Chain A
């Protein structure tokens, strides 16, 4: 038990830096859970944006477009100057700028726009303008006058019914706060990898330090006993870390976590924690310096998160990228996460869930095994 005790003595001495990492990444996980929000009660809700329109064409067609935007958005006037437009966008006085150039009525493709960076509502407005113009120019080509075409376009677009969200699709007893639970657990792979590698990795580096390592190997403690004690220490530390994040999950997600789906997500997160510990154990043999350890944590954490659908939805990734992602544990975590959020209680789903957990456990086992092989290689190469 001496190795186990030595681990926790080291932890006590480095508690400040460990707490620093844990608090920072815990804060990031909470912010991510609360800010990546979409309204799930109503679908595709268009928002009235603050729009500036510069009509250089001044024809009937351009005025129709102007009037459409006047009815559906909040129009504002700004100076017609690139620098002024840039400043207004920067200070968020305007969300979308539409420039109707001279000759628009003959060549509608010449329309230009500048919009807020990464605003989904602005892209939605793009779509609305395209739909309006498609229908409007179709009526114009048929022979209707501008005013008549505009009136008919409004009638046709107004005839669309919005999709209905089926309520009561969940079979759980407790109403789940779907948004927060899904988002909190969705980003956990990055949080776990980054936190475990930086905090636990830093503690393991103490044991990998050359002179300490030599003294341990000279001792009466066998390699098996030493590795077992160290692995147990890592595991218990990680479980404590995991409990901290689960208590945080309870605060963020509320009673919604206390459900079948919530429990499945919690178990999934625990299994991925084991994967993170395995990866950290392996990395601790490859990094000899806290700087290099930090770089490993960023490379593994960020790259796995981008390639496995954590930060970018999987439907946007290429087929080859998804095929390659099958060899990364975070991919299986995300697949399990998606299954949990849509779980309806069938035995087939439960079987698939168990299979995905098993795959993640295999990754953890592989990482631990690779770590033991490397430790054996390093031992033999020195002696």
Chain B
């Protein structure tokens, strides 16, 4: 009976072509747009800089600094700064009118004034720090070892980067992958609405189809489990397609434990179905409101797992770490991160354990509410 119900439910799901299409295509569409937005950052491509407009005010003559300012170039060979040499009042006016990003004061020790924080202002400060540090270095070397000055200039101009970030699991790691982990978590949580729908079509107080099915002699548990199994198959296909698309087509690196990553997503899907069933049973309201609760559950958990802002999970970890331990989206994205970064499976196992326990608790409570409820008449 279970198999028969399962197959018919699967057939009816796949016959709803629009819904099936959206369930499978939605994660792929989001993944594509994420890749388009992050693509350059993921490949470690150098950011293209615009020429920065800067005002220059001479306090005391410093020819070396002025020369460096004029000659410093970007990687494409164009000048880094678009300089306007002027007096202080005009420079401040330019800064206030946003015609200059900052004011360089040419002095014995050059300094910088800016109007606000930003990437261009950070670049200007970084340039100034580098200049001041290097000119101090060259002054000392010129005074004590003038024969080494040329080598010193050559060495410092290369601006060497020492060392690299490593993954403790000997896999490569990119910080922007965190958004894709959160995306996978959100796709798993989409199953919540499938869980609510399964209950909607099984209970007499929620739909006319539910009424007819309650009249049937089939046990409620067999009916609901077969519906959930069919929904799980559809969601699993969606998750598999997403992993395939991200790893094979977009060539994103999920580490060398892809099997466990896929298992994480399946566990997340199971939890979401259980949560959907619980929402469908526990809240005494219309189906419309239950679906609203399911959507809010998905979006809020995904938001706190860092789908929209990468630092959100970090902020929650400081304020209320317990929430990250029970937020299913955070658990899924954290597991994917742990599989990539850490050699041991302890953290992964801990997260999966919490998810499994929450799933069992939700199933148990749902079973308690549903069991032995019957209608005298429909």
A119 CA to B98 CA in the complex, in Å? 30
Q: Please determine whether A169 and B95 come into contact, CB atoms closer than 8 angstroms.
A: yes
Closest A residue to B287 by beta carbon equals A290
Q: Please determine whether A165 and B116 come into contact, CB atoms closer than 8 angstroms.
A: yes
Q: Please determine whether A142 and B344 come into contact, CB atoms closer than 8 angstroms.
A: no
Binds A, one of B70-78, B264-272, B302-310: B302-310
B312 surroundings in chain A (CB, below 8 A): 35
Q: Residues 300-338 of chain B: 1 if any A CB is under 8 Å from the residue's CB, otherwise 0? A: 100100111111111101100000000000000000011
Q: B117 at the A/B interface (Cβ < 8 Å)? A: yes
Q: B374 at the A/B interface (Cβ < 8 Å)? A: no
Q: Please determine whether A313 and B288 come into contact, CB atoms closer than 8 angstroms.
A: no
Q: A43 at the A/B interface (Cβ < 8 Å)? A: yes
Q: If the complex has contacts A164-B113, A312-B38, are A82 and B342 also in contact, measured as CB distance less than 8 A?
A: yes
A166 surroundings in chain B (CB, below 8 A): 92, 95-96, 113-115
Closest B residue to A169 by beta carbon equals B115
Q: Please determine whether B314 and A118 come into contact, CB atoms closer than 8 angstroms.
A: yes
Q: B36 at the A/B interface (Cβ < 8 Å)? A: yes
A294 surroundings in chain B (CB, below 8 A): 193, 291, 295
Q: How large is the interface on B (under 10, 10 to 19, 20 to 34, 35 or more residues)?
A: 35 or more
Q: Residues 94-136 of chain B: 1 if any A CB is under 8 Å from the residue's CB, otherwise 0? A: 0111100010000001011111110101101100111011001
A243 CA to B193 CA in the complex, in Å? 30
Q: Please determine whether B136 and A155 come into contact, CB atoms closer than 8 angstroms.
A: yes
Q: Please determine whether B309 and A35 come into contact, CB atoms closer than 8 angstroms.
A: yes
Q: A218 at the A/B interface (Cβ < 8 Å)? A: no
B148 touches which of A143, A164, A187, A318 (Cβ 8 Å): A143
Closest A residue to B131 by beta carbon equals A160
Binds B, one of A109-117, A257-265, A270-278: A109-117
User: Which secondary structure dominates where chain A touches chain B?
Assistant: helix
Binds B, one of A14-22, A51-59, A246-254: A14-22
User: Which secondary structure dominates where chain B touches chain A?
Assistant: helix
Q: A141 at the A/B interface (Cβ < 8 Å)? A: yes
Binds B, one of A67-75, A229-237, A296-304, A329-337: A296-304
B22 touches which of A126, A292, A321 (Cβ 8 Å): A292
B7 surroundings in chain A (CB, below 8 A): none
B124 surroundings in chain A (CB, below 8 A): 163
Size of A's binding interface in residues, CB under 8 A:
96
A24 surroundings in chain B (CB, below 8 A): 296, 299-300
A305 surroundings in chain B (CB, below 8 A): 308
- Nearest Cβ in chain A — how far from B26, in angstroms? 5
A316 touches which of B41, B341, B347 (Cβ 8 Å): B41
A119 surroundings in chain B (CB, below 8 A): 314
A117 touches which of B36, B114, B151, B178 (Cβ 8 Å): B178
Q: If the complex has contacts A82-B343, A118-B178, A318-B39, are A43 and B166 also in contact, measured as CB distance less than 8 A?
A: no
Q: Please determine whether B30 and A298 come into contact, CB atoms closer than 8 angstroms.
A: yes
Q: Please determine whether A169 and B136 come into contact, CB atoms closer than 8 angstroms.
A: no
Q: Please determine whether A142 and B342 come into contact, CB atoms closer than 8 angstroms.
A: no
Q: Please determine whether B309 and A32 come into contact, CB atoms closer than 8 angstroms.
A: yes
Q: Please determine whether B33 and A113 come into contact, CB atoms closer than 8 angstroms.
A: no
Q: A157 at the A/B interface (Cβ < 8 Å)? A: yes
Q: Please determine whether B113 and A163 come into contact, CB atoms closer than 8 angstroms.
A: yes
Binds A, one of B157-165, B214-222, B252-260: B157-165
Within 8 A of B (CB), among A116-147: 116-119, 126, 129-131, 133-135, 137-139, 141-143
- Nearest Cβ in chain B — how far from A200, in angstroms? 13
The 13 sampled A-B contact pairs (Cβ below 8 Å) are A35-B309, A35-B315, A40-B117, A86-B342, A86-B343, A114-B166, A115-B165, A131-B129, A133-B162, A143-B145, A164-B113, A166-B115, A302-B308
Which residues of B pack against A, CB within 8 Å? 18-19, 22, 26, 29-30, 33-34, 36-41, 47-48, 92, 95-98, 102, 109, 111-117, 119, 121-122, 124-125, 128-130, 132-133, 136-137, 140-141, 145, 148, 151-152, 155-156, 159-168, 175, 178, 193, 197, 285, 288-289, 291-293, 295-296, 299-300, 303, 306-315, 317-318, 337-338, 341-344, 346-347
Q: A28-B303, A169-B116 are in contact. List 6 more A-B contacts (CB 8 A).
A: A86-B347, A109-B163, A115-B165, A161-B109, A303-B29, A342-B98
